[in-house]
């Protein structure tokens, strides 16, 4: 498939660009941060997004969605990277919808996907338990008891974990940490008895949480998919998450470059524009070429998910690994080329670095995905 957008996808991209520039610019991030927002975004933003149909883009038509595909949703997420927009879009409309689509039964899909598409509920995916991403090393337990399950354990770095209505939790019903068999997925109410949520503050001002589950009782209907066979759906969800993180980072790279290029054309030193310095021109040229390559990498990964390509997991790791590299390059170069003013809070360029670092480490950093690609390629 050609690495170009069709007319509808291009229109969606332009629509997202206009909407986010008006209702969720970088200035809004500063506003929410300074106000001590617990969510990182305005109260009305998610409702506006849902009204735009964004919450329904990945939801199948049979459950009230638009079924527009990953390439379409990727354009929205990319534009959100340009404006550093925080919202439940990633945790709910991407991770939540993907997990439910892959693992849920008809009853669960009907109830949950329809509510997500309508903007009625939000979700959060609770996977990691240690500092480093390791989806197979889950030790949190789910034990059958009284016709249901009892959950015990803890999760870290849960995006939107302190505000989501439903938590999609990976727990072990059999086996030992490190086994891919024996992992199950559960849908748990955030307000359930025994669920303790601790909101954590990070440099990007997004909403994350560490969550402890102490003898949390859930009904058998809370099981998402088959008992002990949740790793396949979890892996597919994480693949999608990593491609969308790559799409967001692509937006960060492009906006960082565009802002810096404009600065090079305006800032004077020794009486001349700094953009005339050959050393900076060489650095900018290399930077631009890397970003252009990333556009193709991300689009190919999104297309692979839409097509159900068997190479989609490997392409997801390629996209995440490459974007981790180039996003670090982009944000470092942006701050350095802005020089002293780039280090100040007054200037917005530093915000892109602050968002980039958590995005890079979520669900595996460059090293993790380089190694995963090698394993998937049987190196």
Q: Give tens-digit pLDDT for 11-64.
A: 999 999 999 999 999 999 999 999 999 999 988 999 999 999 999 999 999 999
Rounded to an integer, the average pLDDT of 275-292 is 97
3-state secondary structure of 154: strand
Say which CATH superfamily domain 232-376 falls into: Butyryl-CoA Dehydrogenase, subunit A, domain 3 (1.20.140.10)
CATH number of 124-229: 2.40.110.10
The yes-or-no verdict on residue 254 having pLDDT over 90 is yes
Asked if pLDDT for residue 1 goes beyond 90, the answer is no
User: What are the domain boundaries of the chain?
Assistant: 7-122, 124-229, 232-376
Residue 379 has pLDDT above 90, yes or no: no
Taking the model in full, what pTM does it have? Answer: 0.97
User: Rounded to 5 degrees, what angle do the CA atoms 92, 98, 101 make?
Assistant: 120
Average per-residue pLDDT for the chain: 96
- 298-342 pLDDT, tens digit per residue, is 999 999 999 999 999 999 999 999 999 999 999 999 999 999 899
* 284 has a pLDDT exceeding 90: yes
Q: At what angle do helices 231-266 and 278-307 cross, to 10 degrees?
A: 150
Nearest CA to 304 out of 354, 366, 219, 376 is that of 376
Fold (CATH) for 7-122: Butyryl-Coa Dehydrogenase, subunit A; domain 1 (1.10.540)
For Cα atoms 322, 15, 308, give the angle at the middle one, nearest 5 degrees.
45
What CA–CA distance (Å, rounded) separates 50 from 120?
A: 9
């Amino acid at each position: 498939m050609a690495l170009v957008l069709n007319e509808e996808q291009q229109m969606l991209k332009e629509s997202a660009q206009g909407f986010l520039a008006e209702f969720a610019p970088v200035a809004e991030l500063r506003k929410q941060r300074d106000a001590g927002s617990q969510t990182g975004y305005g109260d009305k933003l998610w409702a506006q997004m849902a009204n735009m149909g964004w919450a329904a883009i990945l939801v199948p038509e049979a459950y009230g969605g638009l079924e527009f595909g990953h390439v379409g949703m990727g354009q929205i997420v990319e534009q959100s990277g340009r404006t550093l927009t925080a919202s439940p879009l990633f945790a709910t409309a991407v991770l939540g919808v993907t997990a439910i689509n892959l693992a849920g039964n008809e009853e669960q899909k009907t109830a949950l996907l329809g509510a997500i598409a309508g903007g009625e509920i939000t979700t959060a995916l609770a996977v990691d338990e240690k500092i480093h991403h390791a989806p197979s090393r889950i030790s949190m337990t789910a034990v059958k008891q009284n016709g249901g399950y009892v959950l015990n354990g803890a999760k870290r770095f849960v995006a939107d974990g302190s505000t989501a209505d439903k938590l999609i939790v990976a727990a072990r019903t059999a086996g030992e940490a490190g086994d891919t068999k024996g992992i199950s997925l559960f849908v748990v109410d955030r307000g359930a008895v025994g669920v303790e949520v601790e909101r954590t503050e990070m440099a990007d001002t997004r909403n994350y949480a560490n969550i402890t589950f102490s003898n949390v009782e859930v009904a058998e209907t809370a099981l998402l998919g088959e008992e002990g066979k949740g790793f396949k759906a979890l892996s597919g969800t994480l693949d999608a998450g990593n491609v969308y993180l790559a799409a967001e980072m692509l937006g960060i790279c492009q906006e960082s470059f565009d802002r810096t290029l404009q600065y090079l054309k305006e800032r004077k030193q020794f009486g001349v524009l700094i953009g005339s310095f050959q050393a900076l021109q060489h650095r900018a040229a290399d930077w631009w070429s890397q970003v252009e390559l990333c556009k193709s990498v991300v689009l190919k990964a999104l297309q692979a998910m839409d097509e159900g390509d068997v190479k989609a997991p490997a392409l997801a790791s390629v996209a995440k690994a490459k974007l981790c590299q180039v996003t670090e390059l982009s944000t470092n170069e942006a701050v350095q080329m802005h020089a002293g003013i780039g280090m100040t809070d007054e200037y917005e360029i530093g915000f892109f670095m602050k968002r980039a670092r958590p995005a890079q480490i979520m669900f595996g950093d460059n090293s993790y995905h380089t190694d995963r690609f090698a394993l998937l390629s049987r190196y």
